[in-house]
Structures are given as structure tokens and as C-alpha cells.
């Protein structure tokens, strides 16, 4: 019953998206101007219906209704409730419904709240949003219905991949999707502005909070995903340049570029065409990412060809949306003037340079991710991994980081390096000192050396924009910028140290034996069996001590066996100090009663994710600042309107008395 209710809500939402598109187009062409009034309410109701559909799916998962095919395939009655609920989006259909739900809710929210833009631009924006949603509704209803029933009803479900039964991962996909979908709103704004030729600061100000919001969620999603891979996969790696990771990185790169160019457009009325282009590219990257992850093409081009329905559907959506948007852009780009001019050495100039660098990195990641697929269709299998992405990405990232240190101190329009030169002496010296230190240590690769040195310089330079300001009166967006740039330095420092100074130790030890990794003394105390709700495990008790006199702490890495589906995972145990993390994994038992241990000492590794969180926090501060000033402006305008109304009333009253 609940499943049917959900399906009905989904169909109605799809129908309303159709209505929203149609009414929007008719109102725009002038044939049905009266229809314009229904677009906003329809968008809001559509969002609510999509939410109802999603809640219904959560309900069937929470109650483990095995007559629903999706539940039987992906859930199990013995799973903890939190993972039953999280399992709703741990599969293809559920995650696509989540995507559509978030997208429709965002559309509804825009429809209700956004009043700054000219009405035709809003109608075009909402019609664009409806068009994209409609494609995804069709995809759900035709090619991946989440509410399909199953007959006969199985006794028990198949369970969820144990790797996914983890809190971090339960919230990782929704976070990323919020980011992807926020970019869909930016995309719709870009379409709306192109259609009505209204690319200007007002459009940028309407679009900016969505770009910022999306970017915050993408940053958090990538950070969480990286940390999840780090502790859950049990080998201590934190970024693999895996296509699935790249799928989340590409929209982030585009959104980062868009975020900066939309700010320039909002405050300086420059970079009009470039901003619109990035708006289209950013959402295109979200869709390409979804296509890569959801079509099965990553396992193999042939797996995709065997069951091509879903993949082809998303590919078609991709082609229609991206192709359509680019065509529109090509048609209208000529009429979008460039806006205000500026010199090479200026704040805008630095932002443009870094936008181009970000786009180049995006090009490298996109090409490197897709090329193996292209090669496979030509009959050859190649792999593109870290040895390609790291140096090629650095080729553009290093100049970008240098300019990032300088840019925020430059003035708008025109400036000279001589003016800011003096404040850059210390960062430059820090960079030199970093390089020298790494050379003295010896045996450190080129990239970690550069990363380490740049992190030091950037860390200092990033707070310089606060110099000479009254800190209490510094606007929130400035604080946000400083925090985010500082976060990049922190993260880069963590990455470089991890890569340069990690120590690995693989040992086989008996209970009671001791070993050492880096500055740590480690003793295997015992290995004992354990039982959880849907797994059994062997748990090692490690007694560890930092240096000769540190406090003895206990660490309990586990080797877990899940039975539905049967699978084994390593639960690593982590011990965090201010200067790094000890990482311990329990392996198999050897014939002579010794246990395999994998141990790592990773100096400053937590800074990688701390930096990610700082970057997101910086985004949040900027968003809060923008929203607060928008609200202030709205209140001020309403106050003025109210006073004008009062004045008019008074005047009318006086005029009425006079004769």
C-alpha cells in the first residue's frame, strides 16, 4: 500500500513537472500569459510530491517490506534500523529517487523564495528546472522504478554490501547529491538568463547562494568520502583517482571556478559569458558523474553493452541537457556582452587565471577518466591512475596555488605587483624554507616537496587579507574566503606530509610479542572472537605507546565477517595525535599461531580532512554573510514600500478633506 502511494506521488510529481514546463513556455511566448501565475505553485507542489514518494520508499525500507523488489534485493530484516534507512539510497533506484527529490524540492524552494529577478527570467528558470527534472522522472518511472513489487515474496532479503554499512557512508551520497542538485539550480538560472538575455549582477546574486550551497556540500561530500575510503578499505590510502572519486571531484572543480566567477559578476559586472558557461559545465559534470557511477560503464564497457537500458537512458538525458544548453549558449553568446574590463594584474585577472587553471585540471581529470573507456571501445584496455593524474594535475595546480596566495590582496580593475610585493616577502621565504627543509631531509619526491613548501607560504598568505582591517567589521564573506584558502593550505600540508613521511610496517606476531612503527611501540595482547548484530569478528587487542614514555593506549582492530551477503571486511583502528595518526589493521592468522598486522604511522594525515572541513566552513560563512545581507536588503525595501504606502494614504486622505 505504501509502495503504491509512493508510486502514485511520483507519477503526479512527473505530471506536474510536465505542466510546469508547458505553462512556463506558454507564458514566455506570450500565448498564455495568464498561465505564468501557476508556475510557482506547481513547482512547490511538485517538490512536496517528490518528497512524499521518497518518504514512502524510506518507510518500506524501514519496515523491510520484502514484497517490494528493491527492498528484497538490497535489505535484510536483521540489519540495524539506521542502515535499513540508509539502505534506501544505497542502491541505484533509491539514489536516483533521492536525486530527483532533492532537485524538485530545490526547484520548489526557488519558486517560493526568489523574487529579485524579472518574472520572465524566473519563468524560464523554472521551466528549465522542470525540463531537467522531467528527464529524471522519466528515467525513474520507465527504467528504474523503485516501487516494483516482487512475487512470490522472498523469506529474507539479500542484504546490503557490508562496506556500505557504515555511518560515514550512510550520509556520504546524500551530501554529494545535495551538491550535484544545487548545481542543477545554477544550471537552470543560467538557462533562464540566457533565454531572456538577462545576464547581469542580479542574475549572479540570485545564483550565488545556490552555487555556494552546492559547493559546500560537494566539499563535505568529497572530504567524507575520502575519509571513508581511508579507514574503511583498510590500506591507509585516502585518494585513488578512482573514476567514482573523479566523478565527485569534477563537479567540485567546475563549481569552484563558477563560485569565483559568479562573485566577480555579482560585484563587478564582469565575466558574463564565462559565468554562464561555467554554470552549464558544472551541472554537466554532475550529470556525467552520475552517468559514470550509475550506468555500470565503469565495471566495463562490455557490462554496459550487455544491459544498456539504464546507461543509454542517462546518456540520452546527458546529450539532450548538455547539448541543448551548449547550443543555446552558442546561439546567445554573441548577444551576451563581456561586461566590465580589467587589467591582467588585478583581482579579476587573478581570478580569471585561476579559473582557467581549474578548468585545465578539470580537463585532465575528465579526459583521464574517460580515456580508458574510449580505449576499451577500440579494443585495448589501459589504466590511467595516480602516476598520470598527480603530475599532470600539479602542472596546473602549482601555478594556481601561487596566484591564490597573491590574488586576494590585489585591487579590483587595476593594480601592480609592486604594491603588494612587500607583504609577500614572508610567504616567499616560507616557500623557500620549505623546499630547503625537504631537500635536507632527503628522499622526498618533487610533488610532496612543492606541496609542503606551497602549503607553508599559502598558509601565511591566506590570512593577509585580514591585515589592516577592523576584525569586528570585516564582512563574513571575507572571513569565509580567508578560512577556505587557509583550509586549502592545511589540507595540502596534510597531503604532502602523508606522502613524504608515512611509515609502513607489515609484521606477523604472536600474542605477547611487540613491534614498532615510526615512534610507536606496539604489543599484541590478545586476539578474541566477537559478535555483532549481523556479523562475527576477530578482534585484536593492541597496546600502543608513543615514544618511550608515552601513555599506553588500547587499540582494537577487527576482522569482520558478514553473513548477508557473505563478505569479509577489515575494521581498522585509528589513534589520532596532534601530529598524526596511527593506523592498525588485523590480517589473517598464520599456521604457527602468529597474526598478520598492518601498521602505519601517518604524520599530519588528519589535516587533509580538517582542511576540507575548513574549506566547507569558509563557504558556509560566505553563504551566511550573503543571505544575511540579502535579507537586510529585502527588509529595507519592504520598509520603504510600507512608508511610501503610508505617505500615499495620508496624501489621499488630505486631498479628500480639502474640497
> Among residue numbers 81 through 100, which ones bind another protein (CB under 8 A)?
90, 95
- The interface region with another protein, picked from 46-54, 143-151, 344-352, 606-614 by CB under 8 A, is 344-352
User: How is residue 508 written as a grid cell?
Assistant: 606477523
Cα pseudo-dihedral 235, 236, 238, 240, rounded to 10: -30
Site for another protein contains 349 (CB under 8 A): yes
Nearer to another protein, 124 or 360 (CB): 360
Q: At what angle do helices 92-113 and 36-62 cross, to 10 degrees?
A: 150
- What are the backbone dihedrals phi and psi of residue 534, each rounded to the nearest 5 degrees, phi first? -135, 30
- What are the backbone dihedrals phi and psi of residue 579, each rounded to the nearest 5 degrees, phi first? -105, 15
- The interface region with another protein, picked from 138-146, 321-329, 360-368, 475-483 by CB under 8 A, is 360-368
**Contact status, residue 127 vs residue 32, Cβ threshold 8 Å:** no
Residue 377 CA to residue 612 CA, distance in Å, equals 37
Of the residues 150, 315, 478, 508, which one makes contact with another protein according to CB under 8 A: 508
**Contact status, residue 131 vs residue 46, Cβ threshold 8 Å:** no
Q: Which residues contact 421 (CB under 8 A, 6 or more apart)?
A: none
Site for another protein contains 182 (CB under 8 A): no
3-state secondary structure 332-385: HHCCCCCECCCCCCCHHHHHHHHHHHHHHHHHHHHHHHHHHHHHHHCCCCCCCC
Site for another protein contains 236 (CB under 8 A): yes
Sign of CA pseudo-dihedral 543, 169, 488, 367: positive
Binding mask of the shown chain, residues 388 to 427, with x at each position contacting another protein by CB under 8 A: x---x--xx-------------------------------
- The interface region with another protein, picked from 178-186, 276-284, 306-314, 371-379 by CB under 8 A, is 371-379
Site size toward another protein, by CB under 8 A: 75
Nearer to another protein, 189 or 562 (CB): 562
Nearer to another protein, 310 or 626 (CB): 310
Nearer to another protein, 367 or 417 (CB): 367
Nearer to another protein, 479 or 609 (CB): 609
Using CB under 8 A as the binding rule, the residues of this chain from 284 to 313 that contact another protein are 293, 298-299
Site for another protein contains 269 (CB under 8 A): no
Which of 483, 403, 494, 395 lies closest to 452, judged by CA? Answer: 494
Site for another protein contains 645 (CB under 8 A): no
Q: Name beta bridge partners: 554.
A: 543
Binding mask of the shown chain, residues 543 to 562, with x at each position contacting another protein by CB under 8 A: ------------------x-
Using CB under 8 A as the binding rule, the residues of this chain from 578 to 607 that contact another protein are 587-591, 596, 598
Site for another protein contains 337 (CB under 8 A): no
Site for another protein contains 158 (CB under 8 A): no
**Contact status, residue 208 vs residue 258, Cβ threshold 8 Å:** no
Of the residues 17, 103, 206, 364, which one makes contact with another protein according to CB under 8 A: 364
Considering the complex, what minimum distance in angstroms separates the CB of residue 228 from another protein? 7
Q: Tell me how far CA of residue 655 lies from CA of 642, 647, 652, in angstroms.
A: 20, 12, 5
Considering the complex, what minimum distance in angstroms separates the CB of residue 590 from another protein? 6
Burial-class residue 442 by CB neighbours within 10 Å (0-12, 13-18, 19+). Answer: exposed
Nearer to another protein, 392 or 484 (CB): 392
Amino acid at each position: 500500500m505504501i509502495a503504491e502511494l509512493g508510486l502514485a506521488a511520483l507519477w503526479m510529481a512527473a505530471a506536474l513537472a510536465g505542466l510546469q514546463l508547458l505553462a512556463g513556455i506558454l507564458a514566455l511566448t506570450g500565448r498564455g500569459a495568464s498561465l505564468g501565475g501557476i508556475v510557482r505553485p506547481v513547482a512547490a507542489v511538485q517538490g512536496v510530491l517528490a518528497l512524499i514518494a521518497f518518504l514512502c520508499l524510506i518507510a518500506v525500507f524501514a519496515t523491510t517490506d520484502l514484497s517490494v523488489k528493491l527492498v528484497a534485493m538490497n535489505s535484510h530484516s536483521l540489519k540495524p534500523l539506521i542502515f535499513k534507512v540508509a539502505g534506501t539510497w544505497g542502491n541505484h533506484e533509491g539514489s536516483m529517487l533521492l536525486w530527483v527529490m532533492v532537485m524538485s524540492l530545490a526547484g520548489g524552494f526557488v519558486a517560493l523564495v526568489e523574487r529579485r529577478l524579472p518574472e520572465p527570467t524566473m519563468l524560464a528558470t523554472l521551466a528549465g528546472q522542470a525540463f531537467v527534472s522531467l528527464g529524471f522522472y522519466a528515467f525513474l518511472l520507465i527504467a528504474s522504478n523503485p516501487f516494483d513489487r516482487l512475487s512470490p515474496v522472498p523469506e529474507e532479503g539479500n542484504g546490503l554490501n557490508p562496506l556500505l554499512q557504515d555511518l560515514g557512508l550512510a550520509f556520504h551520497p546524500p551530501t554529494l547529491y545535495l551538491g550535484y542538485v544545487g548545481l542543477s539550480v545554477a544550471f537552470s538560472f543560467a538557462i533562464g538568463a540566457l533565454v531572456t538575455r538577462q545576464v547581469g549582477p542580479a542574475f549572479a546574486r540570485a545564483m550565488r547562494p545556490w552555487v555556494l550551497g552546492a559547493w559546500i556540500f560537494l566539499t563535505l561530500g568529497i572530504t567524507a568520502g575520502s575519509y571513508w575510503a581511508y579507514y574503511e578499505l583498510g590500506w591507509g590510502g585516502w585518494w585513488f583517482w578512482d573514476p567514482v572519486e573523479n566523478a565527485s571531484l569534477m563537479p567540485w572543480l567546475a563549481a569552484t571556478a563558477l563560485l569565483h566567477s559568479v562573485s566577480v559578476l555579482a560585484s563587478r559586472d564582469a565575466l558574463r559569458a564565462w559565468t554562464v558557461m561555467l554554470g552549464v559545465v558544472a551541472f554537466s559534470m554532475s550529470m556525467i558523474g552520475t552517468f559514470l557511477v550509475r550506468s555500470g560503464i565503469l565495471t566495463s564497457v562490455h557490462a554496459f553493452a550487455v544491459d544498456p537500458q539504464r546507461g543509454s537512458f542517462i546518456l540520452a538525458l546527458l546529450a539532450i541537457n548538455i547539448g541543448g544548453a551548449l547550443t543555446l549558449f552558442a546561439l546567445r553568446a554573441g548577444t551576451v556582452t563581456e561586461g566590465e574590463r580589467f587589467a591582467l594584474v588585478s583581482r579579476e585577472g587573478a581570478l580569471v587565471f585561476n579559473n582557467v587553471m581549474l578548468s585545465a585540471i578539470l580537463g585532465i581529470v575528465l579526459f583521464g577518466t574517460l580515456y580508458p573507456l574510449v580505449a576499451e571501445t577500440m579494443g585495448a584496455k589501459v589504466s590511467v591512475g595516480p602516476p598520470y593524474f598527480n603530475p599532470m594535475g600539479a602542472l596546473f595546480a602549482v601555478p594556481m596555488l601561487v596566484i591564490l596566495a597573491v590574488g586576494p590582496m590585489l585591487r579590483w580593475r587595476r593594480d601592480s605587483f609592486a604594491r603588494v610585493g612587500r607583504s609577500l616577502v614572508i610567504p616567499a621565504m616560507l616557500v623557500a624554507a620549505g623546499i630547503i627543509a625537504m631537500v635536507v631531509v632527503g628522499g622526498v619526491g618533487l610533488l610532496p616537496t612543492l606541496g609542503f613548501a606551497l602549503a607553508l607560504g599559502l598558509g601565511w598568505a591566506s590570512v593577509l587579507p585580514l591585515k589592516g582591517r577592523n576584525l569586528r567589521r570585516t564582512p563574513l564573506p571575507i572571513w569565509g574566503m580567508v578560512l577556505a584558502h587557509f583550509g586549502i593550505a592545511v589540507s595540502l600540508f596534510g597531503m604532502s606530509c602523508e606522502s613524504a613521511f608515512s611509515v609502513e610496517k607489515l609484521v606477523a606476531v604472536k600474542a605477547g610479542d611487540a613491534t614498532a612503527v615510526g615512534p610507536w611501540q606496539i604489543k599484541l595482547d590478545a586476539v578474541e572472537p566477537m559478535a555483532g548484530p549481523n556479523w562475527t569478528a576477530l578482534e585484536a587487542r593492541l597496546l600502543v605507546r608513543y615514544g618511550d614514555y608515552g601513555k599506553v593506549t588500547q587499540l582494537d582492530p577487527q576482522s569482520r565477517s558478514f553473513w548477508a551477503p557473505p563478505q569479509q571486511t577489515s575494521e581498522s583502528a585509528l589513534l589520532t595525535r596532534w601530529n598524526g595518526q596511527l593506523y592498525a589493521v588485523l590480517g589473517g592468522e598464520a599456521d604457527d599461531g602468529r597474526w598478520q598486522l598492518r601498521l602505519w604511522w601517518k604524520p599530519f594525515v588528519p589535516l587533509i580532512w580538517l582542511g576540507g572541513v575548513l574549506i566547507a566552513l569558509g563557504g558556509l560563512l560566505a553563504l551566511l554573510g550573503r543571505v544575511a545581507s540579502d535579507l537586510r536588503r529585502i527588509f529595507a525595501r519592504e520598509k520603504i514600500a510600507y512608508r511610501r504606502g503610508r505617505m500615499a494614504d495620508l496624501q489621499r486622505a488630505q486631498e479628500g478633506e480639502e474640497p
